[in-house]
Structure 1
């Protein structure tokens, strides 16, 4: 198992091809909240490209990128849920979460974790908020029951991918700075390999959701 996690740590980003490939195939069917899922995929691809250029080609410290990436990532995910909720919950809920998250992220960067460090606290907060939004999403799906076959509901698959990724990585994000300073390299590789595995599963689930995109509500 350890060799697999090590492989995932180095090659897990290849699974972006699943969601991005499906995005290209189903682009014309994307409406409503799925457009934010498409932007989320685009952000992930851009993040991988920038990370590779700065880390592998230029060999420069690039943790500062994660601070901005986390903010844009949460914004797109939150807008995905806001579009799907469509008045089912109070309309101020998601905008209030976005405003609160932006404020805390700014304060954390200024006073707690500078741009040279991993933004562990903000990533942890993002995970908690996305977990909460994902559970609210499942409640809406199960309450309305607008589809007879849940396995063909695109939002069900995408929401499951988000929940799996952020719930699985919650403690990893909170401990990310400690792992970066971990002298035991094998432990670090396995931890980030697990992160890559969860990311791969998320993008596979998003890809499945996009495949069912014509079945929008």
Structure 2
């Protein structure tokens, strides 16, 4: 019962930052802020679709498999456009191509709507690449010291929450065949993912809190 409550809470925790975004109104955000907004909306759509299909007893693992690929694309574009380092941009392009290539090795998990297993390769790869992106971003942020107050920088909060989430789930996803794809162990590891998702949503709220209108000329 408690595990089910946490799972549902994790699915709907993303509603809080989404509602706060709506309350902000039609503010002309920066490109970075808009990409965070897209990530939040996309996650909300996934969670709603997942919850509805779960309640209807319909297979929904393939929804998560596609979400993992597409959400990584959003994150990749987010950091690609914010950092001007050539080597980093090459890394992002390489990561995108590599992720989609290895994900399609296990193509049945993407195109079989009745699949009961998570894609064997994309979750651990996307997690590792995302952690690399964030660490590089934080390194550049500290090295250049262009942001006066990190705690008032929306992308800092997004990056911190994402780093906690992906770092906390990376090992279960590396051994995905024995964790999420093992029905006997799935609930145990799903709890880790759910709790970290809730924490990530809290960080997203702070990210939105510090969003400011884009400067217009």
TM range (shorter): 0.7 to 0.9
Superposition pairs for residues 108-127 of structure 1, below 5 Å? Answer: 108-109=106-107, 115=112, 116=115, 117-127=117-127
Which residue matches 2:182? 181
The equivalent of 2:156 in structure 1 is 156
- Structure-2 change in CA distance of 1:10 and 1:79 (3 Å): same
- Partner Cα separation in structure 2 for residue 24 and residue 113 of structure 1: 32
User: For residues 70-102 of structure 1, what are the alpha-carbon distances to aligned partners after superposition, in whole Å with 9 as ceiling and x for unaligned?
Assistant: 1111100101111211x1343433222212211
Following the alignment from structure 1 to structure 2, what is the Cα–Cα distance between the partners of residues 174 and 96? 20
Unaligned runs of 5+ residues in structure 2 are none
Alignment of 1:133-152 (within 5 A): 133-152=133-152
Conserved? CA contact 1:64–1:118, under 8 Å: yes
Q: Paired residues, what number?
A: 209
Pick one of 74, 77, 89 that aligns with 1:76. Answer: 74
| 1:107-148 deviations in Å (ceiling 9; x for gaps) | 2326x9984221132101110000000101101110111122
Deviates more, 1:173-182 or 1:162-171: 173-182
Question: Contact conserved, 1:158 with 1:209, CA < 8 A, in 2?
Answer: yes
- The answer for the alignment partner of 1:46 in structure 2 is 45
* TM-score (norm. length: structure 2): 0.85
Q: Using the alignment, how far apart are the partners of 2:13 and 2:110 within structure 1? A: 30
Greater fraction helix: 1
Task: Quote how far apart the aligned CAs of 1:176 are.
Answer: 4.0
Instruction: Please tell me the root mean square deviation across aligned C-alpha atoms, in Å.
Output: 2.5
In structure 1, the partner of 2:33 is 34
Aligned equivalents of 1:53 and 1:108: distance in 2?
A: 26
Change (3 A) 1:55 1:7: closer
SS in 1 for 2:27: helix
Distance 1:41 1:5 in 2: 24
- Structure 1 unaligned regions, length at least 5: none
Contact 1:152 1:212 in 2 (8 A): yes
Q: CA separation in 2, counterparts of 1:139 and 1:203?
A: 23
Shift in alpha-carbon separation, 1:173–1:216, aligned structure 2, 3 A:
farther
Per-residue deviation, 1:45:
0.9
